[in-house]
């Protein structure tokens, strides 16, 4: 391995450490602003959605099958189905859509 790898690794570790340490250093007291607290509570869900949704559309053969899978997942989630039911149903919908698309010329 070249020396650049360890330089990149050290920079990445430093940036990761700073991101986690700076809020603890800069904010000494408890946050009482309701708007800021609600904003901070939604950040994990937003980051998860931003990372997941593009991956869903690039993981299939066509955007149509991905859209159908996402649609099935949203509908089942709105009906309060379990996570396994939603995931397996969405995968099944994608599989069936892609299989049907191979049959249609």
What pLDDT is stored for residue 91 in this prediction? 95
- 30 backbone φψ class: left, alpha, beta (φ>0; ψ -120 to 50): beta
CA 80 vs CA 7, 68, 70, 74, 90: distances in Å = 48, 19, 15, 10, 14
pTM beyond 0.85: no
What pLDDT is stored for residue 34 in this prediction? 92
What pLDDT is stored for residue 1 in this prediction? 67
What pLDDT is stored for residue 29 in this prediction? 85
Q: Mean pLDDT per segment of 10 residues, for the chain of length 105 residues? A: 86 92 85 89 91 90 94 96 96 95 87
> Tokens 């299939």 belong to which residue?
60
> Tokens 């991101």 belong to which residue?
19
CA angle (102, 103, 105) in 5-degree steps: 85
- Token pair recorded at residue 70: 């996402």
């Amino acid at each position: 391995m070249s020396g650049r790898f360890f330089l990149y690794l050290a920079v990445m570790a430093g940036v990761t450490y700073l991101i986690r340490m700076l809020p603890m250093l800069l904010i000494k007291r408890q946050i009482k602003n309701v708007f800021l607290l609600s904003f901070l509570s939604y950040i994990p869900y937003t980051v998860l959605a931003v990372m997941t949704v593009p991956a869903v559309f690039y993981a299939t053969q066509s955007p149509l099958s991905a859209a159908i899978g996402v649609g099935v997942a949203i509908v089942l989630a709105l009906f309060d189905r379990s996570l396994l039911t939603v995931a397996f149903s969405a995968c099944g919908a994608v599989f069936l859509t892609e299989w049907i698309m191979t049959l249609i010329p």
